[in-house]
């Protein structure tokens, strides 16, 4: 029998009741406070700052077993609820994938960078696209002026994709593509490149981000309104389940939610809430959860509040497994285990004294590993200035390699499990997440909460509060509001000039001259009809349009005409 | 009694990194300014039109996507095309040192990088709009 009635409320009650009981029966702590701590504090320096985490969880002087009574997680790695890790032996079997996100300029530029990373020991590819690509505008569009290749690689057509992966064996690498609004089109392009090279679709391994919900909430790179985008996600779920069984078609991302200014609890809760929404989408499409849940992977941020971050990863795994089992009736173990990619926090990097960023990234990466990440991107020290140089990327990659090979932290699984403090933080974050799930349900679910602007406003509010804390020096950023220097260190930075734009525009001009324009028009017309019919799966016609060399924007424009464009509710 | 500063906050182009501008909107309002936020994804031309329609004293432009050297001067050009020269333009975002000089030459001041305090930005706006 599934527990769906008042599910969140019951969870919250259960957890708060345990805490109440614990506060009544902590004799040993009270004795220690009276006999040891208080006398000490009276005689010695004691900072009266409020000690708390980013999610405003109070931090006590010390923790003990009495903080965990009635709520001790005795599970082991690789078993329900997977708090300690999705696999029994974790990094003893296979280290996390070192997946450096990269992309700039033309497809040729990025192809060279990918080959450089492979040569230096990177084990998975991860592509960044520029803003025109993310929004679905071609390089030759007026809106793309000045932006082509600046924030990532530009892709305007299948031809660009062929260049991007030139001489990279797609059946041997796993590729992650950070693309959301046009995810179905980029997936179609990737599949088409593979087919052209006689690689079958069921050999393709990788991840396409596709998480449009977090776009409305945080990153804000959208094209159509939420319901229409979700229909395309549904089509991708169906298509990939059938045709590309090793392809993770959605990476449910907290990263951007955190970068936009939220705290750890908000990142955790909003991301998992999005996860439940995709789960329901698949269910409604008639897919079996047990079959598609393993294809849903997550992507979290890892920033500076060390223990809270580790607790966040543990809480995420526990909540996902628990809710899937109890509320959605998933039985198969491997479908319950949450797997995730981690990226260190870009927002934590400072423009001032940039070399300090190497240290920040190392600490964040360590937390990601202690939290049991499956893959990791480490940011480069120069990223508050520009896209990273090769030198800076190498230091970032070496940071991971040092953690993996020199520190010994990867030897035992979940080595911090059992720490009273960490277990307490894990429990606290879990409870905070349940409170947000309840609130989001009251608002009618994630999409409705987005349309009302609730999630966006929650994040903006936290971002503003945090900035005020920085200005009041309640929150310290070394080199910025403490230990600042007047003369700044100079570093070499990567410059992406407008050459990429010229090359891309030119390539499009030649492409448009040489392709079969009737074939293009027919393919786009078929796609329009499919878009208009909600019951049809649009992936097949998307692939045909891509293969006819219709451009990215030509395809997205069909969608814009059919679905309209999204206008964000007023946030400020 | 000082006159209130009217300011338009905008990201001219395909750039959605709005954490900074949303924080600044709040900070400007708390500092007593009348704040108009363009919402995301306006073109430089649309930014100029909103500024004129709203009769603002200043425009605060932010970009994190590397297009500042193209987009910021475009806003200025569109204002000038409409015969408007009395709106101060202040820039910010991920802007390399050498680009700052280039922007200054185009009359775009401030060009604040990450980690700049809100007070520094607010004082600069007061200075360039000559409203204290």
B80 lies in some domain: yes
What is the Cα gyration radius of chain A?
24
Residues 6+ apart with CB under 8 A from A145: A501, B67, B70, B71
How many Å lie between the alpha carbon of A242 and the closest alpha carbon of chain B?
34
Which pLDDT does position A572 carry in this prediction? 86
Q: Is B71 in Cβ contact with A146 (below 8 Å)?
A: yes
CB A188 within 8 A of CB A539: yes
B103 lies in some domain: yes
Which residues of chain B are under the pLDDT cut of 50? 1
What's the burial of A85, exposed, middle or buried (CB within 10 Å: 0-12/13-18/19+)? buried
Which pLDDT does position A304 carry in this prediction? 98
The alpha-helical segments, DSSP class H, found in A1-144 are 7-24, 27-32, 38-43, 107-119, 131-135
Which pLDDT does position A24 carry in this prediction? 83
Name which of B27, B21, B69 is nearest B41 in CA terms. B21
- Of A144, A145, A260, nearest to B19 by CB-CB distance is A260
CA distance linking residue A202 with residue A479, whole number of Å: 50
How many Å lie between the alpha carbon of A219 and the closest alpha carbon of chain B?
6
How many Å lie between the alpha carbon of B66 and the closest alpha carbon of chain A?
6
Q: Assign A45 a pLDDT band (cuts: 50, 70, 90).
A: confident
What is the Cα gyration radius of chain B?
13
B120 touches chain A (CB under 8 A): no
How many structural domains comprise chain A?
1
Residue of A146, A257, A457, A489 to mutate, interface with B, max B Cβ within 10 Å: A146
- Give the ipTM of the model, two decimals please: 0.93
Using the predicted structure, report yes or no on whether residue A290 has a pLDDT greater than 60. Answer: yes
Read off the CATH number of the domain in which B70 is found: 3.40.50.280
B68 lies in some domain: yes
Q: Is A260 in Cβ contact with B115 (below 8 Å)?
A: no
Average pLDDT, chain A: 95
Residues 6+ apart with CB under 8 A from A204: A170, A171, A190, A191, A194, A244, A246, A247
How many structural domains comprise chain B?
1
A105 lies in some domain: yes
Three-class secondary structure of residue B74 per DSSP: helix
CA distance linking residue A144 with residue B14, whole number of Å: 8
B37 lies in some domain: yes
CA within 13 Å, CB half, A505: 14
Q: Per-residue pLDDT tens for A112-154?
A: 988 887 888 776 899 999 999 999 999 999 999 989 999 899 9
Q: Which residues of B touch A143 (CB under 8 A)?
A: 13-14, 43
Report the residue of chain A nearest B72, measured CA to CA.
A146
Q: What is the mean pLDDT of residues A306-330?
A: 97
**Which 25-84 residues of chain B touch chain A by CB within 8 A?**
25-27, 35, 37, 39-41, 43, 65-67, 69-71
How many Å lie between the alpha carbon of B26 and the closest alpha carbon of chain A?
7
Using the predicted structure, report yes or no on whether residue A47 has a pLDDT greater than 80. Answer: no
Name which of A208, A210, A251, A277 is nearest A455 in CA terms. A277
A33 lies in some domain: no
Which pLDDT does position B54 carry in this prediction? 97
Q: Per-residue pLDDT tens for A399-410?
A: 999 999 999 999
Which pLDDT does position A48 carry in this prediction? 65
CB A511 within 8 A of CB A548: no
CA distance linking residue B13 with residue A220, whole number of Å: 13
Q: Assign A449 a pLDDT band (cuts: 50, 70, 90).
A: very high
CB B83 within 8 A of CB B56: no
List, as one string, the DSSP characters of A234-248: HHHHHHHHHH-TTEE
Q: Tokens standing for A357?
A: 């960023």
Count residue pairs from A and B with Cβ separation < 8 A: 98
Q: Is B66 in Cβ contact with A150 (below 8 Å)?
A: yes
Which pLDDT does position A447 carry in this prediction? 98
B65: left (phi over 0), alpha (psi -120 to 50) or beta: alpha
Q: Assign A333 a pLDDT band (cuts: 50, 70, 90).
A: confident
A32 lies in some domain: no
Q: Which residues of A touch B25 (CB under 8 A)?
A: 572
Q: Assign A1 a pLDDT band (cuts: 50, 70, 90).
A: low
Three-class secondary structure of residue A426 per DSSP: helix
CA distance linking residue A308 with residue A300, whole number of Å: 13
CA distance linking residue A335 with residue A207, whole number of Å: 17
Which pLDDT does position B132 carry in this prediction? 61
Q: Is A134 in Cβ contact with B14 (below 8 Å)?
A: yes
Residue of B12, B22, B36, B99 to mutate, interface with A, max A Cβ within 10 Å: B22
Q: Per-residue pLDDT tens for A215-270?
A: 999 999 999 999 999 999 999 999 999 999 999 999 999 999 999 999 999 999 99
Read off the CATH number of the domain in which A462 is found: 3.20.20.240
User: What is the DSSP-derived secondary structure letter of residue A351?
Assistant: S
Task: Write down the residue that tokens 């294809």 correspond to.
Answer: A295
Structural domain boundaries, residue A454: 91-407+421-471
CB A240 within 8 A of CB A407: no
B29 lies in some domain: yes
Q: Assign A556 a pLDDT band (cuts: 50, 70, 90).
A: very high
Which pLDDT does position B88 carry in this prediction? 97
A317 lies in some domain: yes
Q: Per-residue pLDDT tens for A203-217?
A: 999 999 999 999 999
Three-class secondary structure of residue A505 per DSSP: helix
B1 lies in some domain: no
């Amino acid at each position: 029998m599934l527990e769906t009635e008042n599910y969140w409320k019951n969870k919250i009650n259960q957890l708060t009741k345990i805490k109440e009981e614990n506060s009544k029966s902590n004799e040993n702590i009270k004795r220690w406070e009276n006999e040891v701590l208080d006398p000490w504090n009276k005689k010695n320096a004691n900072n009266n700052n409020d000690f708390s985490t980013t999610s405003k969880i109070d931090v006590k002087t010390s923790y003990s077993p009495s903080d965990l009574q009635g709520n001790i997680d005795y599970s082991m790695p690789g078993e329900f609820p997977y708090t300690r890790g999705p696999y029994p032996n974790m990094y003893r079997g296979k280290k996390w994938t070192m997946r450096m996100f990269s992309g700039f300029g033309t497809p040729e530029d990025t192809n060279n960078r990918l080959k450089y990373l492979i040569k230096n020991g990177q084990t998975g590819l991860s592509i960044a696209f520029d803003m025109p690509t993310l929004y679905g505008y071609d390089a030759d569009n007026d809106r793309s002026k000045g932006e082509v290749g600046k924030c990532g690689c530009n892709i305007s057509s299948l031809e660009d994709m062929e260049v991007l992966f030139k001489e990279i064996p797609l059946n041997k690498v796993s590729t992650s593509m950070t693309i959301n609004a046009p995810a179905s089109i980029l997936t179609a392009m990737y599949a088409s490149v593979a087919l052209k090279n006689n690689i079958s679709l069921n050999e393709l391994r990788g991840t396409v981000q596709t998480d449009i919900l977090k776009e409305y909430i945080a990153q804000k790179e959208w094209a159509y309104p939420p319901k229409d985008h979700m229909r395309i996600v549904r089509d991708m779920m169906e298509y990939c389940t059938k045709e590309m069984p090793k392809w993770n078609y959605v990476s449910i991302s907290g990263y951007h939610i955190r970068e936009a200014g939220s705290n750890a609890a908000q990142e955790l809760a909003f991301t998992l809430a999005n996860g439940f929404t995709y789960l329901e989408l698949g269910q409604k499409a008639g897919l079996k959860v047990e079959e598609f849940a393993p294809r849903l992977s997550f992507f979290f941020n890892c920033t500076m509040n060390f223990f809270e971050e580790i607790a966040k990863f543990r809480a995420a795994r526990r909540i996902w497994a628990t809710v899937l089992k109890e509320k959605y009736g998933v039985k198969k173990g491997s479908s319950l285990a949450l797997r995730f990619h981690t990226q260190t926090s870009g927002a934590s990097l400072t423009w001032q004294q940039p070399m300090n960023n190497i240290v920040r990234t190392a600490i964040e990466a360590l937390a990601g590993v202690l939290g049991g990440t499956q893959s990791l991107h480490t940011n480069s020290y120069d990223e508050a200035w520009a896209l990273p140089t090769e030198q800076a990327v190498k230091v970032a990659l070496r940071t991971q390699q040092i953690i993996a090979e020199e520190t010994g932290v990867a030897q035992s699984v979940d080595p911090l499990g059992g720490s009273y403090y960490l277990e307490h933080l894990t429990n606290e974050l879990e409870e905070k997440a349940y409170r947000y799930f309840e609130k989001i349900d009251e608002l009618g679910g994630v999409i409705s909460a987005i349309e009302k602007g609730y999630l966006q406003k929650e994040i903006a509010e936290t971002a503003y509060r945090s900035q005020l804390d920085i200005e009041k020096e309640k929150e310290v950023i070394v080199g910025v509001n403490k230990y600042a220097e007047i003369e700044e260190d100079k570093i070499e930075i990567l410059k992406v000039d407008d050459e990429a734009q010229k090359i891309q525009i030119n390539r499009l001009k030649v492409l448009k001259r040489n392709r079969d324009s009737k074939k293009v028009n027919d393919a786009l017309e078929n796609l329009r009809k499919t878009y208009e019919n909600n019951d049809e799966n649009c992936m097949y016609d998307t692939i045909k349009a891509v293969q006819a060399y219709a451009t990215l924007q030509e395809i997205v424009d069909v969608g814009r005409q059919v679905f309209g464009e999204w206008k964000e509710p007023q946030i400020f | 009694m000082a006159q209130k500063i009217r300011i338009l906050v905008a990201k001219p182009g395909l750039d959605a990194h709005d954490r900074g501008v949303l924080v600044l909107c709040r900070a400007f309002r708390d500092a007593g300014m009348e704040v108009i936020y363009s919402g995301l994804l306006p073109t430089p031309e649309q930014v100029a039109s909103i500024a004129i329609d709203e009769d603002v004293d200043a425009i605060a432009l932010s970009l994190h996507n590397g297009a500042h050297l193209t987009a910021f001067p475009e806003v200025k050009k569109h204002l000038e095309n409409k015969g408007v020269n009395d709106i101060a333009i202040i820039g910010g975002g991920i802007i390399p040192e050498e680009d700052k000089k280039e922007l200054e030459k185009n009359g775009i001041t401030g060009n604040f990088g990450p980690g700049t305090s809100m007070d520094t930005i607010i004082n600069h706006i007061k200075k360039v709009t000559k409203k204290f």
